[in-house]
Amino acid sequence: MQGKIRAQLLKGTTPLLVLSVLRDGELYGYEIAQRIRDRSGGAFIPSEGALYPALHALEADGALQASWRESDRGPRRRYYKITSGGLAMLDEHAQEWATFSVAMGHAVGGSDR
């Protein structure tokens, strides 16, 4: 039940989480999922099925830039780097999220402003 609620709450936040972890440097897909999980202390585990469509959509919108690099495991890996447009998008999403979470806290907590 708890997992389902979390999945519902995570819907729509994948781009924000992806942009947030990529602000610190280039990562490949699996690393991005791991980094999100680690940063949230295991609270957020993005759906892997939603991760790649989100990454590719952000790339199509110009927020990310992808490039193939050699990996120590054999085949090449696709690394993602945030662009200046992506940083602007991250700021915008973060502000919206802050406003949203405060309002949600008030609404759920029942306290008047």
| Sites of contact with other proteins (CB under 8 A) | 28-30, 47-50, 52-57, 60-62, 68, 71, 73-78
Residue pair 51/110 in contact by the 8 Å Cβ criterion: no
Residue pair 91/99 in contact by the 8 Å Cβ criterion: no
CB of 20 to other proteins, least distance (A): 19
Interstrand relation of 27-28 and 74-82 (parallel, antiparallel or unpaired): antiparallel
User: Which residue in this structure is represented by tokens 């949230």?
Assistant: 40
Give 73 or 113: the residue with its C-beta nearer to other proteins.
73
Give 52 or 100: the residue with its C-beta nearer to other proteins.
52
CB of 77 to other proteins, least distance (A): 6
DSSP state of 61: T
Q: Find, among 77, 22, 14, 82, the residue nearest to 45 by Cα.
A: 14
CB of 99 to other proteins, least distance (A): 26
Give 64 or 90: the residue with its C-beta nearer to other proteins.
64
Give 3 or 109: the residue with its C-beta nearer to other proteins.
3
